[in-house]
Amino acid sequence: MYKIAVMGDRDSIYGFAAVGLEPVVAEDAAQATEKLRELVSGEYAVIYITEALAGKIDKEIARYADRELPAIILIPGISGNTGNGLAAVKRSVERAIGSDIIFGEG
């Protein structure tokens, strides 16, 4: 059975354990890169990462963009929404269907 993890700073991800997601605390780029590699090699179908943390490891996340699993999804953290999560979804949709159906451009 596949699992779901959520990675970010403690304050942003603490509550996700209550709904069955596995919280993975990572505060800096080196720690986040190591933890992401562990999660990717595990049995995770979905890995949520806070936008602030993802911004620190964007090249590492890009390494897994063409994989079917796990899906790496950016979510806002306690510090707020940066817009990177929506931009990532938009890029994924454009790559999958060849057109921007979210904003109607292209």
Question: What is the 8-class DSSP label of residue 81?
Answer: -
Mean pLDDT of the chain: 85
- What CATH number does the domain located at 3-79 have? 3.40.50.10580
Residue 13's Cβ-count burial label (10 Å; 0-12, 13-18, 19+) is buried
* % of the chain exceeding 90 in pLDDT: 59
Question: Does 56 have pLDDT greater than 70?
Answer: yes
Domains of the chain, by residue range, sit at 3-79
Mean pLDDT across the stretch 51-74? 92
What tens digit of pLDDT does each residue of 11-54 get? Answer: 999 999 999 999 999 999 999 999 999 999 989 999 999 999 99
Positive/negative CA dihedral, 87, 88, 89, 95? positive
- Please answer whether residues 48 and 73 qualify as being in contact, where contact means their C-beta atoms are separated by less than 8 angstroms: yes
DSSP type of residue 87: H
Report whether 19 contacts 26 (CB < 8 A): no
The pTM score is 0.79
